Amino acid sequence: MKISLLSAWNSDSGAAIHAELIGREWIRTGHQLSVFSFIKSDFHGKNILREDEKYVTRCFGTPKTNFFDARPILSTKMDVLIVEDLGMLPKKSLAKIFPTIRKMAKTINIIHDNKSSSDPYFYKFKWDKVIFFNKQYSEIFKNIYPKSKTEIIPYPSGLWESGEKKEARRKLKLPEGIKIFFVFGWWARYLIPLFPVFRKIRKRYPFILLVSSRDKKAKVKYLSLREEGIEVDFREEIISEDKLYLYLHASDAFIFGDKKREGALIPSTATYGMGAGCLIIAPRSNFFEMFNREVLKYSTSKEFEENIIEVINKGKRYKETLRAQKFFVMKNNLKVVAKKYIRLFEKLTKRRGK
């Protein structure tokens, strides 16, 4: 199968994580993938994480510049063309070549938008299929796309790979014999309101707050905890998916603060990271609505404290949550999800051949 993909790639956006997880699996299983992505001077995300593969062509920008070079796309043979996160692409330029693309291949839109777009060009495309991650997304667009043209395929997790804690800590130069709570990326700032809980717990239990973030304002806040006897290891670095698993293997819990945002949302880092076998503590918010027993949730600082202590003591809820997390990964990992897409592609291209 010849698959063309217009998406963020090798960057730290949720769309890039999704595209890379399933895209690399398609290649591994023998399909031909051509990726068309954002130019490095105007891309979706905050950081470029690695060098591009040979099958990646950067030929468009975000709506900020509206740069769009259609030549590489139109000169590529394809059975299927997929667009990830249409809202971030130069839609007007894409719309001009879309009739030509439809003569070449079946077209699929994977929705990342958490609310309906105000841009009229968002609706200028006649897709063969529109993909939603869950019912929350489909509900938002139910009056826009006919049900016959839509399908729900979940956002993939990584593969289950629980890892060896001792070895992971050795590689990251972290001590053994102490609990480590991991905080990642821009989520670091949203955990600051819960600092009083860490101060309280520190009186009874030693632990390390391990933070990987380039948020300099958050760094100042976290490092101030050292003055109160709380051990903080703050690392300003860009972490790839593989290294994220290393951090999670070294940690006892992956912790998220409460970020307020409207619409349907997917916590891409948490979903991908589930496969690492590190328990997740997260707020009861629409960001984590897709999870039930797979995550220890909190609504108040008291519940957050109880969850931290549950992890420290590895109690009954801790063990039940990890079992549910593993079950979630078995059903929704990148191999399972990539196969669902391939079955859909085969179904669509078979229809086309008739």
Q: Residue 351: pLDDT band by 50, 70, 90 thresholds?
A: low
- Give the percent of the chain with pLDDT over 90: 81
For residue 83, pLDDT over 50 is answered with: yes
Task: Tell me the pLDDT tens digit for each residue of 188-239.
Answer: 999 999 999 999 999 999 999 999 998 999 999 999 999 999 999 999 988 8
CB-facing half-sphere around the CA of 347: CA atoms within 13 A: 11
176-186 tens-digit pLDDT = 999 999 999 88
Per-residue model confidence as pLDDT tens digits over 287-324: 898 899 999 999 999 999 999 999 999 999 999 999 99
Which CATH number is 2-155+333-353's, of 3.40.50.300, 3.20.20.140, 3.40.50.2000, 3.40.50.1100? 3.40.50.2000
Write down how long the chain is.
Answer: 354
The pLDDT value given to residue 67: 95
- CA dist., res. 222 & res. 229, Å (int): 12
56 φ, ψ (degrees, to nearest 5):
-105, 130
Using CA atoms, how far apart are residues 96 and 101, in angstroms rounded to an integer?
10
Q: State residue 344 phi and psi, 5-degree precision.
A: -65, -45
11 contacts: CB under 8 Å, gap ≥ 6: 38, 43, 44, 45, 46, 47, 48, 49
* This model's pTM is above 0.75: yes
Average of per-residue pLDDT across 161-175: 95
Give the pLDDT confidence score for residue 44 in this predicted structure.
Answer: 79
Residues of the chain with CATH 3.40.50.2000: 2-155+333-353, 165-331
What is the token pair recorded at 118?
């105000």
Q: What is the pLDDT of residues 125-139, one digit of tens each?
A: 999 999 999 998 999
Residue 102 above 50 pLDDT?
A: yes
CA proximity to 145, closest of 163, 161, 122: 122
| CATH superfamily ID and name for 165-331 | Glycogen Phosphorylase B; (3.40.50.2000)
pLDDT (mean) for 98-107: 97
Whole-number pLDDT of residue 354: 39
- The rounded radius of gyration (Å) of the Cα atoms in the chain is 21
